[in-house]
Amino acid sequence: MKYYLSEPCPTVSDLEKKYVLEAIESNRVATGKFNALFEQSVRELTGTQNALAVVNGTSALHLALSVLGVNAGDVVFSSTFTFIGSVSPIIYVGAEPVFIDSDQATWNMDPNLLEDELKKRSKSGEKMPKALILTHIYGQPADMESICLLCDKYGIALIEDAAESLGATFDGKHTGTFGRMGVFSFNANKIVTSGGGGMLVSDDSSLIDKARFLANQAKDKSDHFEHSEIGYNYRMSNIQCAYGYAQLQEIAERVDGRRRVFEAYKRMVNQPPVTLMPEHEKARGTRWLTAMCFEDEDRVGIKQYMDAESIETRPLWKPMHIQPVFKDAKALVNGTSEKFFNYGLCFPSGHNLSDADVEEINKRIIRIL
Ligand SMILES: Cc1ncc(COP(=O)(O)O)c(C=O)c1O
């Protein structure tokens, strides 16, 4: 038996088949009723006022920066412990990224590092960030209390990269809805997928209206094709929305399933040298992937052993500040995310894994350690 990190869409339900077929048979494959239904269901799930379905999470972040007026020469602070799709849009708009390391309590952006840098910049007159992209890594909410306070105090537009955290809350409020804008991904590896897709959300309808305009090639109101500015072709198709809409009906069960799997790991392997990803006391994460850090242990050796045992594992995200492409970028570091990368692995986390499956994997972890 092979244990996958996350089953690639373990089942295609009758509902998915029904809605996709309906989208095809309606002859509205590009734009149709499922675009609106998918957006509406994300609004309802997250409690946000406005949502826009786009081709992927990366394009949603690009739109967020664009509509918030982030331009060439601006500075954008960002989590360093994240996936490249979170930060490439900073480069697309010509802005300068500044990466901020993680804390131990959430594995997300360290509010103390952020505060120190903001204080320093406001005193010295160094350019302040126009926006901050905050990732909720592996479905685990960041410390929203501290980070929102700082963004408010210094007037920074907060964009939440909730690509991995659909279904996660902090103090009962859905991730992606704290900042000016939030982004979700429906890439195939996520808890619910549309085979590729993204969603941009905001309580500010003018921002979403503008993003919708840009995502549709910035077509002015006219009966011919009139353009006063440059936009993008970022629309999500009706077929993909139909698939995503059907998948979304199962989000609660899938999050519960992933949390159960995490707890099954925790029961057996949550002791030195293993640290499982923590959870802020006010947070309820999705446990999208069960992430572990092996103190001072050779993760390459552990991975090789797991490969031989047909257990798929993956190193934790390589921080952005040590990526070759960002070798010249500024970064505020404390060693935390580099430690996660050097000593961490993700383990099979799909909601379909049984407790017995996790026990089998745990036995191997204990054996190799
Ligand atoms: C943290 C994070 N940000 C952004 C993205 C980009 O989303 P997409 O792949 O839909 O472009 C992803 C993943 O896919 C992600 O994991």
Give the atom of ligand 1 at the shortest distance from the alpha carbon of 187: 10
Residue 10: pLDDT band (50, 70, 90) is: low
Judge whether 4 lies within some domain: no
The CATH number given to whatever domain includes residue 145 is 3.40.640.10
With a pLDDT cut of 90, the percent of the chain lying above it is 94
Both 175 and 291 in a single domain? no
Pick from 164, 189, 192, 199 the residue to mutate for probing ligand 1's pocket: most ligand atoms within 8 Å of its CB.
164
Rounded CA-CA distance 308/253 in Å is: 31
pLDDT tens, position by position, 268-305: 998 999 999 999 999 999 999 999 999 887 899 999 99
pLDDT tens, position by position, 137-176: 999 999 999 999 999 999 999 999 999 999 999 999 999 9
Both 78 and 169 in a single domain? yes
Expressed as residue numbers, the domain containing 313 is 251-368
Both 197 and 85 in a single domain? yes
114-125: burial string, b at 16+ Cβ within 10 Å, e else: bbebbeebeeee
pLDDT tens, position by position, 105-115: 999 999 999 99
* 240 Cβ closer than 6 Å to some ligand 1 atom: no
Both 149 and 86 in a single domain? yes
Pick from 187, 232, 236, 318 the residue to mutate for probing ligand 1's pocket: most ligand atoms within 8 Å of its CB.
187
With a pLDDT cut of 70, the percent of the chain lying above it is 99
Both 31 and 166 in a single domain? yes
* 237 Cβ closer than 6 Å to some ligand 1 atom: no
Judge whether 2 lies within some domain: no
Judge whether 7 lies within some domain: no
Both 239 and 278 in a single domain? no
Rounded CA-CA distance 311/230 in Å is: 47
pTM of this prediction? 0.97
The CATH number given to whatever domain includes residue 278 is 3.90.1150.10
Chain Cα centroid distance, residue 86: 8
* 79 Cβ closer than 6 Å to some ligand 1 atom: no
- The structural domain count of the chain equals 2
Pick from 58, 92, 183, 316 the residue to mutate for probing ligand 1's pocket: most ligand atoms within 8 Å of its CB.
58
Cα of 322 from ligand 1 centre, angstroms: 19
Rounded to whole angstroms, what are the CA distances from 304 to 166, 210, 250, 357? 31, 48, 34, 19
Judge whether 41 lies within some domain: yes
Rounded CA-CA distance 182/158 in Å is: 8
Both 224 and 258 in a single domain? no
Q: What is the mean pLDDT of the chain?
A: 96
